Amino acid sequence: MTSAQGPLLSRAGYDRASHRRTDADWLAQAWTGSRVLVISPKSATPVEPDAAGVSRLAFRDPSSVDDIAPRRFLGLVGEVPYFTATVERDGDDDWPTLRDLGPTIDDLDAGLLTSAIALEQWHQRHTHCPLCGTPTVESNSGWTRTCPADGSEHYPRTDPAVIMLIHDGADLALLGRGVQWGAGRFSTLAGFVEPGESLEAAVAREVFEEVGIVVRDVRYVASQPWPFPASLMLGFSARLDGDPTIDLDPVEMAEAGWFTRAEVEQAAEWVDTGTEPDPDVRIQGVSPKLSISRYLIDLWLAGELPA
Ligand SMILES: [Zn+2]
């Protein structure tokens, strides 16, 4: 059951051991006995099949990437240190991305890869000091950047976004199709939290802006990191308060509708085979399994979402 396991990218399975990030002697020693997760600048990574044929991350021996800098310390599994480094893609092997791997890799691989990508995406986008404009350098084993001109320290960003399943307290859920989604594909509504705004207020505002619906009973459900590039998705449920008539924002939403459990259940089983959607079916498919949107939808289908 999906709900017992939690959102797929929220799994961790290792100790971040953050107190070691400033310990240069310990880090140098740890590197020699470590396993190294290499990722490309576009966040692809080499894999290898395990005994059952399932893709596992193909960690490298530190001696094979010794000339790679910077080395970023991810954490410990038992006594074994894990680092990540960014390399250009090499060899003929298939290098899948987290989106490809997320549904099948185990908790440890999912946690390490999500953190490695989030760090790399942040470093790529935050190269200069926001105070004085000087190029910054990596520090604390990749977990901060420091300005050599004024000594200021800068931390990785995490941008909060709310994502919410709106229901009527009975058999209907409100799902929408963003303008970038293909015909027949629906998901929960979502949006970024604005400065100075509470999470609950962001849920209510986004729902009203996108579909003109008023909600109440906003309840937190679960969160999932989404490192493309720096989101933390905060999942909620909320209940319709009053008029269910949809007033769509055409800039963000192509369409939205109230759907029954039976309709959503059927759409959740849909597999994209490239065929044209059936014009008689209102909802053809829902969000992919890796997303917290799908996690919320599956909870609602199972009757496990807070009322
Ligand atoms: Zn500066």
Domain stop point among 81, 103, 125: 125
Please, which pLDDT band fits residue 81 given cuts at 50, 70 and 90? very high
Q: How far apart are CA 68 and CA 73, in angstroms?
A: 13
Whether 3 shows a pLDDT value over 70: the answer reads no
For 11-57, how does the pLDDT look when each residue is reduced to its tens digit (9 = 90+)?
778 899 999 999 999 999 999 999 999 999 999 999 999 898 888 99
Q: Are residues 96 and 185 in the same domain?
A: no
How far does residue 136's CA lie from ligand 1's centre (Å)?
7
Q: CA triplet 6, 8, 13: central angle to 5 degrees?
A: 85
Q: Are residues 112 and 189 in the same domain?
A: no
Q: Are residues 219 and 285 in the same domain?
A: yes
How far does residue 138's CA lie from ligand 1's centre (Å)?
13
For residue 226, the domain's CATH number is: 3.90.79.10
Q: Are residues 187 and 102 in the same domain?
A: no
In the chain, pLDDT over 70 holds for what percent of residues? 97
Q: Are residues 195 and 288 in the same domain?
A: yes
How far does residue 147's CA lie from ligand 1's centre (Å)?
5
| Residue indicated by tokens 């199972």 | 302
For residue 101, the domain's CATH number is: 3.90.79
How far does residue 154's CA lie from ligand 1's centre (Å)?
10
Q: Classify residue 136: in a domain, yes or no.
A: no
How far does residue 121's CA lie from ligand 1's centre (Å)?
21
| Nearest CA-CA partner of 6 in 295, 276, 304 | 295
How far does residue 146's CA lie from ligand 1's centre (Å)?
8
Domain stop point among 125, 141, 167: 125
| Nearest CA-CA partner of 100 in 91, 110, 90, 92 | 110
How far does residue 156's CA lie from ligand 1's centre (Å)?
16
How far does residue 158's CA lie from ligand 1's centre (Å)?
21
Q: How far apart are CA 183 and CA 177, in angstroms?
A: 8
Q: Classify residue 144: in a domain, yes or no.
A: no
How far does residue 157's CA lie from ligand 1's centre (Å)?
17
Task: For the chain, give the longest Cα–Cα distance.
Answer: 66
How far does residue 111's CA lie from ligand 1's centre (Å)?
32
- Under DSSP, the state recorded for 21 is T
Q: Classify residue 145: in a domain, yes or no.
A: no
Domain stop point among 125, 146, 172: 125
Q: Are residues 176 and 259 in the same domain?
A: yes
Prediction pTM value? 0.88
Q: How many domains does the chain have?
A: 2
Domain membership of residue 63 as a residue range: 2-125
Q: Are residues 291 and 163 in the same domain?
A: yes
For 240-250, how does the pLDDT look when each residue is reduced to its tens digit (9 = 90+)?
999 999 999 99
Say what angle helices 292-301 and 261-268 make with each other, to 10 degrees: 130
Whether 279 shows a pLDDT value over 90: the answer reads no
Q: Classify residue 113: in a domain, yes or no.
A: yes
How far does residue 137's CA lie from ligand 1's centre (Å)?
11
| Residue indicated by tokens 């490192």 | 227
